[in-house]
Amino acid sequence: MIKISYKVINNHINYVEIKGHAGYADSGFDIVCASVSSIVLTTINAIIRFNEDSIKVKEEDGYLLIEILNCTSFSDILMENMIGMLEELSKQYKKYVKIN
């Protein structure tokens, strides 16, 4: 199961932590894992394109930590959109994605 947690400070999503593997299908064929990865990496890359110093990312096998160092309206919109998309995914795949 992929477990996602995030923290809101002063109305900004400042921190997102993603742990685990979906286990929906074998590695390389897991559409749930691929969906989470696509949503998250698209958001990270968009923020980096505008200001690479505003985000810190730590990535290991089965683990991803995103910290927003400088909140802007742009990063807020992207992070809120990312969480919204992940919440929709978790509704469709409750056994494989959980958001706290």
Kindly list the strands in the beta sheet with 55-60, ordered across the sheet, starting from the edge strand earlier in the chain.
55-60, 63-68, 12-19, 2-9, 97-99
Q: To 5 degrees, how large is the angle CA 79–CA 82–CA 87?
A: 125
* Total number of domains constituting the chain: 1
The Cα–Cα gap between 22 and 68 comes to 25
Tell me which residue range forms the domain holding 41: 2-99
Tens digit of pLDDT per residue, the chain (100 long)? 999 999 999 999 999 999 999 999 998 899 999 999 999 999 999 999 999 999 999 999 999 999 999 999 999 999 999 999 999 999 999 999 999 9
Q: DSSP string covering 2-53, please?
A: EEEEEEEETTEEEEEEEES---SSSTT--HHHHHHHHHHHHHHHHHHHH-GG
Q: What is the CATH number of the domain that holds 9?
A: 3.30.70.1490
